[in-house]
Chain A
Amino acid sequence: MSITMRDTKTTERSADQAATQPAAEATAKGTAVRVEHLDAWYGTHHAISGVTLDFPAGTVTAVIGPSGCGKSTLVRCLNRMHEVTPGARARGGVFIGDVDVYSPYADPVEVRSMVGMVFQKPNPFPMMSVYDNVIAGPRLRGWKMKRREADDLVERNLRRAALWDEVKDKLHRSGGALSGGQQQRLCIARALATDPSVLLMDEPCSALDPIATYKIEELLRELSSEVTIVIVTHNMQQASRVSEHTAFMLAGDDSVGRLVEFGRTDGVFTNPKDKRTEAYITGRFG
Chain B
Amino acid sequence: MTRGFDRYFAVGVTALAMLVPLTLTGIALLIFIDAWPSLTHFGLSYFTTTVWDPVHFIFGAAAYLYGTIVTTLVAVVIATPIALGASIYLTEFAPRRIRGPVSYVIELLAYIPSIVYGLWAIFVMVPIMRANIEPALQGSLGRLPLVGQLFSGTPVGLDLLSGGVVLAIMILPILTAISREVLLAVPPTQREAMIGLGATRWEAVSRAVLPYARPGIIGGVVLGVARAFGETMAVTMVVGNSSRDITGSLFVPGYTMASAIANQFVEADSELYFSAIVEVALMLLFVALVVNTIARYLIRRSIADRPAGAVV
Tell me the bound Cα distance from A25 to B192 in angstroms. Answer: 33
Q: Which residues of B contact A116 (CB under 8 A)?
A: 196
Please state if A127 and B198 are interface contacts (CB–CB under 8 Å): no
Please state if B198 and A123 are interface contacts (CB–CB under 8 Å): no
B199 contacts the other chain (CB 8 A): yes
Assuming A86-B96, A125-B190, is B196 touching A117 (CB within 8 A)? yes
User: Which residue from chain B places its CB closest to the CB of A128 in the assembled complex?
Assistant: B211
Chain B 89-104, CB within 8 Å of chain A: the 1/0 string?
Answer: 0000000100000000
Please state if A194 and B196 are interface contacts (CB–CB under 8 Å): no
Chain A 224-256, CB within 8 Å of chain B: the 1/0 string?
Answer: 000000000000000000000000000000000
Please state if A119 and B196 are interface contacts (CB–CB under 8 Å): yes
Assuming A119-B189, A121-B189, is B197 touching A113 (CB within 8 A)? yes
Chain A contributes a number of interface residues (CB within 8 A of B) equal to 28
Within 8 Å by CB of B198, from A113, A126, A187, lies: A113
Tell me the bound Cα distance from A187 to B208 in angstroms. Answer: 14
Within 8 Å by CB of A136, from B96, B197, B200, lies: B197
Range class of the B interface residue count: 10 to 19
B241 to chain A, nearest CB (A): 44
Please state if B212 and A123 are interface contacts (CB–CB under 8 Å): no
Residues of A102-153 contacting chain B, CB below 8 A = 109-114, 116-117, 119, 121, 123-128, 136-137, 140-141
A84 contacts the other chain (CB 8 A): yes
Tell me the bound Cα distance from A141 to B203 in angstroms. Answer: 11
Please state if A81 and B211 are interface contacts (CB–CB under 8 Å): no
A59 contacts the other chain (CB 8 A): no
Q: Which residues of B contact A260 (CB under 8 A)?
A: none
A185 contacts the other chain (CB 8 A): no
B306 contacts the other chain (CB 8 A): no
User: Which residue from chain B places its CB closest to the CB of A136 in the assembled complex?
Assistant: B197
Please state if B197 and A123 are interface contacts (CB–CB under 8 Å): no
Q: Which residues of B contact A190 (CB under 8 A)?
A: 193, 197
A52 contacts the other chain (CB 8 A): no
Assuming A127-B212, A128-B211, A136-B207, is B189 touching A109 (CB within 8 A)? no
Q: Which residues of B contact A140 (CB under 8 A)?
A: 194, 197-199, 203, 207
Q: Which residues of A contact B190 (CB under 8 A)?
A: 123, 125
Within 8 Å by CB of A187, from B96, B193, B207, B214, lies: B193
A79 contacts the other chain (CB 8 A): yes
Chain B 174-194, CB within 8 Å of chain A: the 1/0 string?
Answer: 000000000000010110111
Please state if A110 and B198 are interface contacts (CB–CB under 8 Å): yes
A261 to chain B, nearest CB (A): 28
A130 to chain B, nearest CB (A): 14
B95 to chain A, nearest CB (A): 11
Q: B residues near A, CB below 8 A?
A: 96, 187, 189-190, 192-200, 203, 207-208, 211-212, 214
